[in-house]
Structure 1
């Protein structure tokens, strides 16, 4: 089994698209303002965003992307204006992790 895609809701698909393009995803389907789909720069998985009138309540959605050079990636994204809630740090569960919140 392989993961095909993850789809998340957005109030503003075009604004969300800009954010994920800045992160480095490649736009492969542009049906904005209602839907967009990206492919990750590595691997086979895709990621899409669809328009909703209201966002789901509760804890929301957590998405994990991986990069072998996390510190360099974070530094480059900060130069592009991306704000991180947590800078890269080694976790007790053996991952190096950073956190950010998308525009929605």
Structure 2
């Protein structure tokens, strides 16, 4: 099994498109109600869809985008007006992370894991 994409709800697709293109994602599908991006490194995709009136709930999900040059990525985003809730910080588990929100309030983490990979095989698996 492989993760194909993650989709988050947004208030305005056009604002979300500008935000995520600014982060460096490549737009591959765009309609008034939906947009899909491919991540520049790898095969994963990320989507946004317009919430239906009266159904929007604040997200409790955090979307993580790994950046090999996270310090440069964060400073570049700041220079382009992106506001971070938490600046870059080295975490005890070995990751370097910074957090910001998209225009609809979805929490986004830009990070670098280095040698602390989260997908190293565990001794047990889930079927």
- The alignment's TM-score, normalised by the length of structure 1, stands at 0.92
Higher relative contact order (CA 8 A, sep 6+): 1
- Larger-Rg structure: 2
Distance 1:22 1:60 in 2: 23
Aligned to 1:4: 4
RMSD over aligned CA atoms reads: 1.1
Distance 1:61 1:35 in 2: 19
Distance 1:64 1:23 in 2: 12
Q: Aligned to 2:63, what secondary structure does the other structure show?
A: coil
**Unaligned regions of 5+ residues in structure 2, if any?**
105-127
After TM superposition, the runs of 4+ consecutive aligned structure 1 residues lying more than 2 A away are none
- The alignment's TM-score, normalised by the length of structure 2, stands at 0.76
Write the deviation string for residues 8-57 of structure 1: whole angstroms up to 9, x where unpaired. 111111111110010000000011x2000000000110000111124224
